[in-house]
Structure 1
Amino acid sequence: MESLSGGFSFASILVAHVVVLVFFSSGGILAVTEFDFGTLTLTRLKLLGDAHWTNGSVRLTRDLGVPYSGSGKVLYSKPVQFRRPGEQSPASFSTFFSFSVTNLNPSSIGGGLAFVISPDDEFVGDSGGFLGIMDARRSRKGVVAVEFDTLMDVEFNDINGNHVGLDLNSVISARVGDLETVGVDLKSNNLINSWVDYFGSTRLLKVYVSYSNSKPKSPILSANLDLNKYLINDFAFVGFSGSTQGSTEIHTIEWWSFTSSFDANPAAPPPPPPTGSLMNPTADKASPPPPSPAPEANSSNTTAYEQKSSGKCHNHLCKDAPGAIVGVVTAGAFFLAFCALAFIWAYNKKFKSDKKNSDTILACDVIKMPKEFTYKELKSATKGFDSNRIIGQGAFGTVYKGILAATGGTVAVKRCSHNGQGKAEFFSELSIIGTLRHRNLVRLQGWCHEKGEILLVYDMMCNGSLDKALFESRMTLSWSHRKKILLGVASALAYLHQECENQVIHRDIKSSNIMLDEGFNARLGDFGLARQVEHDKSPDATVAAGTMGYLAPEYLLTGRATDKTDVFSYGAVVLEVVTGRRPIEKGVVSGGVGVGVGSNLVEWVWGLYREGRLMEAVDRRLGGEFDGEEMGRVILVGLACSNPDPTGRPVMRSVVQMLVGERDVPVVPKTKPTLSFSTSQLILSLQDSVNDLNEMVTISTTSSETSFIGGGGGGGGNGSYSDLV
């Protein structure tokens, strides 16, 4: 038995298992191996790259509070024999490990970790989607890995950002398992257990994953695997690799046990340490997630005034009256009692009236919501609204990442501001989105209005917002994904404008309000500025609200938002997606037509179109990987929607047909049209705005956008979910 290194703080409390059983072959090399974290010395592990020891566990990546791309690897220092001369069957093995993926900034995700079988003990692969397994050449012989990927990389054919994959000499997985099917979230910060069993005689590999120390009955991944075809040597090294991808993820191996032999079936690895040990303190506590407690009685919904005005309170007063006015039977006493009851009734009526004025929408529309959450549930899901769970910040509230105890599902919890404007946004958004159902809208799971808090619960969109995918992602968003996103947003707007019972004008269409699910499908969000109007009815004038670069010129002049103002904003998004440039571009394009400081993207693209150089607008990062005719049609759709004259813009139902090739794009003039607007119309509209509104336009300038805020919120996005608030 090997002694524990003095560097292990948990040495005094761990009971050693069998350390390493060594059966020597004729060459004197390890033929059968067994070890676990409770018996290893530090010299038996080899740390490479960013891997390091901390508090008795191995961290594969750095502990940084700022986004970083790096990789690390830890290996058992002695090679393990997987083949013997003259034998057809490779060795069987079984390994159990506990790991966690924590994050100092939950909105900064990316990378993952993997259990690896490596031909050498020196190589560390690249960061990001390569997970420290491979380098940028993507192929390396002699490598078998079971990956636990936390970010969907399109170039590696990932199914989502929460999966297990079997990698064979490549980071493009030969077989994958969706962890959503077993209720495990790699990014939940919880301790996760995994078992990997390989049967040499049958060439069968099985992978199990759970929050519990109890091994699941069914594997998350099962595959036929002949190790003889992939290992280049009889001996190989075993361990783990991990990487970050411009993120702050921390990948920690808390416990590891491994056993191999040339028996038909692998021996079970040593069991995990006791629950109370330092290596695995919470595994038994994590699964299954406890059921939600029964909702508490909401005492705030039954006020003292309501109790006093009920018959029960009246009886109580009558019961106590004899003891209080014994012997006094006078008209004055009855008069006083009557006055008291009348006062209480009048006060209670006023209280209810005030409450009704502020909560009218809540009373009549909340019943339509999918679910009413309790404050206790959502506080627990967000760890007490921990600042480390913030994934978005806006003018009228904050969005937190939440993990629901009842289901283990990940959600986005929007906590609205307590001021009057924040409440107005809440009621506006709740009354509109609660009645909408479309595959390209962010789904509202439920709401909470309790303890003075205003909370909305949405589906979590794992790929963040469109603006992040375009401008902040390490990977270039492919044209196929861009085209699918544009079609999805157009479909959502066609539904809002023409298929709802009442027309919905969004008023804040922009890339930071377009969320992307794990399949890069577009989900339009943030209905805080939205307005419902009857079809074919002229909308009321309001203060212009939204983001410069996306606002239609007639909306800025009149304050009247229509479906055509949404179409203009959509056109700006189309050109943004095609060019990879923001609507208000601050830089200068190298080569071609320059975009000066503060220049408008629509102006620039229309200039290229006038000069017959339209395709020069296409994002160069696409590398020409697109159909030219299709690209030209999409750009013309963007220009048609960006027409300054609202009468020249198509309706969104026609836009959908244009994008799928079922309808021709209308003729777009080479010279950008001008907005024709009479002076009398402008004066009348401005008078309407002044008469209808008692608030001023607030103009706030950021480094890249100018936001007009009024009658709601607006402004630029600052990342995933930032503009849900």
Structure 2
Amino acid sequence: MNPRKHILFLLIFTFNSFFNPSMAYPRNVSFEFPFLPLQNFTLLGDSYLRNGVAGLTIESDVPSSSAGTLIYTTPIRFSDNRTNSTASFSTRFSFSIVSLNPLSSVGDGLSFFISPENHTLGSPGGYLGLVNSSLLTQNKFIAVEFDTRLDPYFNDPNENHVGLDINSLNSIKTADCDSVGIDLRTGISFTTWIDYNHDRRNLEVFLTRSRSKPDHPILEMDIDLSSYFQEYMFLGFSASTEGSTETHLIENWSFKSFGIKHFNPRINDPHNVTDNTVVKTPPVYDSGNDNFRKKIGFGLEVSGPVCLFGVLVLFGYISVKKWRSIRTEMNIKSEVTRSPREFSYKELKIATNGFHSSRIIGTGSFGTVYKACLLASGTTAAVKRSVRSREAKTEFFAELSVIACLRHKNLVQLLGWCVEKGELLLVYELMPYGSVDKVLYQDPDDRGFLKWSHRYKIAIGLASALAYLHQECDKLVIHRDIKASNVMLDANLNARLGDFGLARLIDHNKSPVSTLTAGTVGYLAPEYLHCGKATDKTDVFSYGVVVLEVCCGRRPIDRETGGQNTVNLVDWVWRLYGNGNILDAVDKQLDEEFDEVEAKRLLMVGLSCANPDSEMRPPMRRVLQILENEAEEMMVPPVKPMVNFATSLPMSLEDLVSSSSDDDEPEEGSGSRKTSDSTFEIYIDGSRE
């Protein structure tokens, strides 16, 4: 091919690929996944991929509420207005619904859905992860549900059925699984086929324990889905639980669509004429200009490749110039194996009104937190914008890689992230009441609304989160910065632990490695200050300080009233306990309106966790059991134990501690950390060292 024609062909092909969607995606699609690869799917909510099997809800032996979605990343064409054709499809997948307590802890079920949106995620419980509990008509979908709980609100026939849902969880038609001898709750693997034939306007659902397709469908319905199809739709699975140990697994999946006709403008355009209707006139050549034309043609043929080479050199120069930022993005994307949604920079910029100062809700050494209004979902969120420094990148990557793998009701949920245009952005759910620190100290006129029941619930919620991090994750997660300003409060005043910028992942059977001590003065365990080794016990110490702070309404290190001397909260409470007056430590702002039994239990838990001897501190699972009155309290000595360390510290105090000021903590969203030049003081045995 002539070089000039080659370049022209490439330009035309590129233009059509970008601006003609019909060339970007195939008309009829077929795929088969014996196991599910991560690169082909988007994971939302509590969903995860492990060894090629997708889990849609949390795998836990403790009853919990959960919702998750798995979406095939590439959109599928379901209709074409130019050819007036609609797709038929056939899909097959194997799934299992497993429960540790199948007789008493079941629900709610899973679904296969087709939706115009690629971020479909609903609420836990009877909403099957398909619709939001407060916006029942927002999400549009065609779904086949496999329901294991009878929900009268959605007119379910029983707790073991299949149903066809269109834009609502009130099924158009249902079928009883008992009629074919199937109990979805048994935990065994089932295989289902869902076939829709547009020509016959018919939908069939087959369900069996074996791998062979049954002769008769369990659910069959004459229906025309073309009015619900948009040109491009997304496929996926969703599931949910509510107070249940049920886990929903997708083991394999195949899909095939057919019936979309190919668009041929010569056939479909009635104004086109055939070649036979055109009179072809042979070209006329001027022999006098033949040599001139040959020279021009030769010149263009030579200059064409030269110009192309010049374009490639320029493109290479620009690519090399941008390589560093692209490499950073690729590294982060490859490391985060179970990340939530990746936002575009443009979307977050619009959501924060161009990162306008009026949207700032918190600042710190890491950067700034902005309130964002996400247009796609209509929800508000908190966007953490990291400063452009090497340390900020390290914290950003640590926080993303750690929290992206975590799912717990008492953790601030990470909604997404963005690494683009040199920006490092994390998107969290918005915490309307801000941090515990803010409620206790920065709004003195409103302190009364944090009643005793709220404070006790905060202590339980934070204990539940730490028990999950320390004992229930695949790897031990050490937070390293447990403090009141990193414990957020949601709309129901539930505690949500945030800010995982200092967190570390450690294998359960490995010893911690010494590092530079990081954290906040007043919350750091004495052995951590001395040895620089962060363990789950150092998190327990910080938890004990937070519990005492919430109960007493006093900072970990505070000034004496009307004096200049500082008071260590742990020492102060321990002295009251030794004198038999421990209830005197309860916050006076409560005006004696608190449960004395709970208050004593909470103060004793705080002291046992803040014990200077790390071996005497209880594990967080035991703490949670004590607070829920399921285990006996720990024995606490009346005098605070003394712990002796060598007189010389292994590193300077400037290297050891990154302290945090009390100002400029975020009001909403995730917690922040801000360094200051505040005085560093260590209290071990009641005296200042």
TM-score, L = length of structure 1: 0.48
Task: State the match for 1:508 in structure 2.
Answer: 481
Match of 2:343 among 369, 373, 380: 373
Match of 2:302 among 296, 299, 323: 323
Query: Could you tell me how far apart the structure 1 residues matched to 2:644 and 2:533 are?
Result: 16
Quote how far apart the aligned CAs of 1:676 are: 3.6
* Counterpart check, 1:723 vs 2:687: no
Quote how far apart the aligned CAs of 1:348 are: 8.1
Query: Could you tell me how far apart the structure 1 residues matched to 2:524 and 2:300 are?
Result: 68
Task: State the match for 1:664 in structure 2.
Answer: 632
Query: Could you tell me how far apart the structure 2 residues matched to 1:374 and 1:325 are?
Result: 38
For the 8 Å contact 1:445–1:459, the answer to whether it is kept is: yes
Quote how far apart the aligned CAs of 1:542 are: 1.6
Task: State the match for 1:652 in structure 2.
Answer: 620
Counterpart residue identity of residue 637, structure 2:
P
Task: State the match for 2:172 in structure 1.
Answer: none
Task: State the match for 2:218 in structure 1.
Answer: none
Quote how far apart the aligned CAs of 1:363 are: 2.4
Match of 2:584 among 578, 602, 616: 616
Counterpart residue identity of residue 723, structure 1:
G
Task: State the match for 2:609 in structure 1.
Answer: 641
Query: Could you tell me how far apart the structure 2 residues matched to 1:612 and 1:717 are?
Result: 36
* Counterpart check, 1:417 vs 2:398: no
How many residues align? The count is 377
* Counterpart check, 1:568 vs 2:541: yes
Match of 1:533 among 506, 510, 529: 506
Match of 1:435 among 402, 405, 411: 405
Q: Deviations over 1:553-610 (max 9, x none)?
A: 1111111111111000000001001101111112428xxxxx9632110010011111
* Counterpart check, 1:674 vs 2:648: no
Q: Deviations over 1:514-548 (max 9, x none)?
A: 11011001100000111111113122212211111
Task: State the match for 1:450 in structure 2.
Answer: 420
Quote how far apart the aligned CAs of 1:454 are: 1.1
Q: Do the aligned partners of residues 699 and 612 (structure 1) sit closer, same or farther apart at CA in structure 2, a change above 3 Å counting?
A: same
Query: Could you tell me how far apart the structure 1 residues matched to 2:347 and 2:612 are?
Result: 48
Superposed CA RMSD: 3.6
Q: Do the aligned partners of residues 575 and 700 (structure 1) sit closer, same or farther apart at CA in structure 2, a change above 3 Å counting?
A: closer
Query: Could you tell me how far apart the structure 1 residues matched to 2:561 and 2:539 are?
Result: 28
Quote how far apart the aligned CAs of 1:718 are: 5.5
Q: Do the aligned partners of residues 183 and 548 (structure 1) sit closer, same or farther apart at CA in structure 2, a change above 3 Å counting?
A: farther
Q: Deviations over 1:289-341 (max 9, x none)?
A: xxxxx9xxxxxxxxxxxxxxxxxxxxxxxx99971699x9xxxxxxxx9xx99
Q: Do the aligned partners of residues 483 and 430 (structure 1) sit closer, same or farther apart at CA in structure 2, a change above 3 Å counting?
A: same
Query: Could you tell me how far apart the structure 1 residues matched to 2:134 and 2:453 are?
Result: 25
* Counterpart check, 1:603 vs 2:571: yes
Counterpart residue identity of residue 388, structure 1:
S
Q: Do the aligned partners of residues 361 and 480 (structure 1) sit closer, same or farther apart at CA in structure 2, a change above 3 Å counting?
A: farther
Q: Do the aligned partners of residues 524 and 361 (structure 1) sit closer, same or farther apart at CA in structure 2, a change above 3 Å counting?
A: farther
Task: Tell me the secondary structure at the aligned position of residue 428 of structure 2.
Answer: strand
Where do residues 485-524 of structure 1 align in structure 2 (5 Å cutoff)? 485-524=458-497
| Structure 1 spans left out of the alignment, 5+ residues | 1-177, 185-293, 295-318, 329-336, 590-594, 706-715
Quote how far apart the aligned CAs of 1:628 are: 1.2
Task: State the match for 1:549 in structure 2.
Answer: 522
* Counterpart check, 1:383 vs 2:350: no
Match of 1:629 among 597, 612, 618: 597
For the 8 Å contact 1:361–1:431, the answer to whether it is kept is: no
Counterpart residue identity of residue 505, structure 1:
I
Q: Do the aligned partners of residues 512 and 418 (structure 1) sit closer, same or farther apart at CA in structure 2, a change above 3 Å counting?
A: same
Q: Do the aligned partners of residues 642 and 452 (structure 1) sit closer, same or farther apart at CA in structure 2, a change above 3 Å counting?
A: same
Query: Could you tell me how far apart the structure 2 residues matched to 1:661 and 1:652 are?
Result: 14
Where do residues 142-153 of structure 1 align in structure 2 (5 Å cutoff)? none
Q: Do the aligned partners of residues 548 and 635 (structure 1) sit closer, same or farther apart at CA in structure 2, a change above 3 Å counting?
A: same
Counterpart residue identity of residue 644, structure 1:
P
For the 8 Å contact 1:183–1:409, the answer to whether it is kept is: no
Query: Could you tell me how far apart the structure 1 residues matched to 2:502 and 2:639 are?
Result: 33
Quote how far apart the aligned CAs of 1:355 are: 6.0
Q: Do the aligned partners of residues 402 and 320 (structure 1) sit closer, same or farther apart at CA in structure 2, a change above 3 Å counting?
A: farther
For the 8 Å contact 1:468–1:720, the answer to whether it is kept is: no
Q: Deviations over 1:69-112 (max 9, x none)?
A: xxxxxxxxxxxxxxxxxxxxxxxxxxxxxxxxxxxxxxxxxxxx
Q: Do the aligned partners of residues 410 and 183 (structure 1) sit closer, same or farther apart at CA in structure 2, a change above 3 Å counting?
A: farther
Task: Tell me the secondary structure at the aligned position of residue 400 of structure 1.
Answer: strand
Query: Could you tell me how far apart the structure 2 residues matched to 1:362 and 1:453 are?
Result: 13
Q: Do the aligned partners of residues 639 and 515 (structure 1) sit closer, same or farther apart at CA in structure 2, a change above 3 Å counting?
A: same
Quote how far apart the aligned CAs of 1:425 are: 1.2
Q: Deviations over 1:37-69 (max 9, x none)?
A: xxxxxxxxxxxxxxxxxxxxxxxxxxxxxxxxx
Query: Could you tell me how far apart the structure 2 residues matched to 1:505 and 1:455 are?
Result: 23
For the 8 Å contact 2:545–2:556, the answer to whether it is kept is: yes
Q: Deviations over 1:329-387 (max 9, x none)?
A: xxxxxxxx9xx99x9999989986x6687456512244522211111111111111110
Q: Do the aligned partners of residues 584 and 718 (structure 1) sit closer, same or farther apart at CA in structure 2, a change above 3 Å counting?
A: farther
Q: Do the aligned partners of residues 360 and 566 (structure 1) sit closer, same or farther apart at CA in structure 2, a change above 3 Å counting?
A: farther
Task: Tell me the secondary structure at the aligned position of residue 378 of structure 2.
Answer: coil
TM-score, L = length of structure 2: 0.50
Counterpart residue identity of residue 479, structure 1:
W
Query: Could you tell me how far apart the structure 2 residues matched to 1:539 and 1:372 are?
Result: 32
Query: Could you tell me how far apart the structure 1 residues matched to 2:137 and 2:379 are?
Result: 7
Quote how far apart the aligned CAs of 1:423 are: 1.2
Q: Do the aligned partners of residues 355 and 719 (structure 1) sit closer, same or farther apart at CA in structure 2, a change above 3 Å counting?
A: closer
Task: Tell me the secondary structure at the aligned position of residue 342 of structure 2.
Answer: coil
Quote how far apart the aligned CAs of 1:426 are: 0.8
Task: Tell me the secondary structure at the aligned position of residue 564 of structure 1.
Answer: helix
Task: Tell me the secondary structure at the aligned position of residue 341 of structure 2.
Answer: coil
For the 8 Å contact 2:514–2:532, the answer to whether it is kept is: yes
Quote how far apart the aligned CAs of 1:179 are: 12
Counterpart residue identity of residue 547, structure 1:
T
Where do residues 342-421 of structure 1 align in structure 2 (5 Å cutoff)? 358-359=328-329, 361-366=331-336, 368-421=338-391
For the 8 Å contact 1:506–1:527, the answer to whether it is kept is: yes
Where do residues 73-112 of structure 1 align in structure 2 (5 Å cutoff)? none
Query: Could you tell me how far apart the structure 2 residues matched to 1:325 and 1:577 are?
Result: 75
Q: Do the aligned partners of residues 521 and 698 (structure 1) sit closer, same or farther apart at CA in structure 2, a change above 3 Å counting?
A: closer
Query: Could you tell me how far apart the structure 1 residues matched to 2:304 and 2:489 are?
Result: 71
Query: Could you tell me how far apart the structure 2 residues matched to 1:539 and 1:344 are?
Result: 47
Counterpart residue identity of residue 509, structure 1:
I
Q: Do the aligned partners of residues 675 and 321 (structure 1) sit closer, same or farther apart at CA in structure 2, a change above 3 Å counting?
A: farther
Query: Could you tell me how far apart the structure 2 residues matched to 1:320 and 1:420 are?
Result: 52
Q: Do the aligned partners of residues 393 and 183 (structure 1) sit closer, same or farther apart at CA in structure 2, a change above 3 Å counting?
A: farther
Query: Could you tell me how far apart the structure 1 residues matched to 2:633 and 2:300 are?
Result: 83
Counterpart residue identity of residue 502, structure 1:
K
Identity of aligned pairs, percent?
50
Q: Deviations over 1:152-180 (max 9, x none)?
A: xxxxxxxxxxxxxxxxxxxxxxxxxx996
For the 8 Å contact 1:412–1:458, the answer to whether it is kept is: yes
Query: Could you tell me how far apart the structure 2 residues matched to 1:656 and 1:580 are?
Result: 21
Q: Do the aligned partners of residues 325 and 463 (structure 1) sit closer, same or farther apart at CA in structure 2, a change above 3 Å counting?
A: closer
Task: Tell me the secondary structure at the aligned position of residue 457 of structure 1.
Answer: strand
Quote how far apart the aligned CAs of 1:701 are: 7.4
Quote how far apart the aligned CAs of 1:696 are: 4.0
